[in-house]
Amino acid sequence: MSTTATQGQSPIQSNEEFRERLRELPPSAKLVAKVLETEHPLSQGQLAEESLLPDRTVRYALNRLTDADLVDSRYSFQDARKQVYYLDV
């Protein structure tokens, strides 16, 4: 996870806030966040492969993480038809 300060917050506050929001999410979202912490950016298919979760569960986890403003996405540079996901910390 990034430890840079955002908008006047110290890195520790930002990290604590991230962990607090993550704590409220289901286990699948926590696992996907952990995978993104070590390897990023990843597509939904790559996340399913790395986490060993079904595609449908990864999609649900990504939606929950996005709703909590913990994950963001952009189009892949390698394949513009795909989106890749990364932690938004």
Domain covering 11-87 assigned CATH 2.40.50.140 in the classification: no
DSSP type of residue 74: E
Say yes or no to pLDDT of 55 above 50.
Answer: yes
Phi, psi (degrees; rounded to nearest 5) at 75: -75, 145
Region 60-73: mean pLDDT is 95
Residue with tokens 């506050």: 13
pLDDT at 79 over 50: yes
Alpha-carbon gap, residue 89 to 85, rounded angstroms: 12
Residue 35 has pLDDT above 50, yes or no: yes
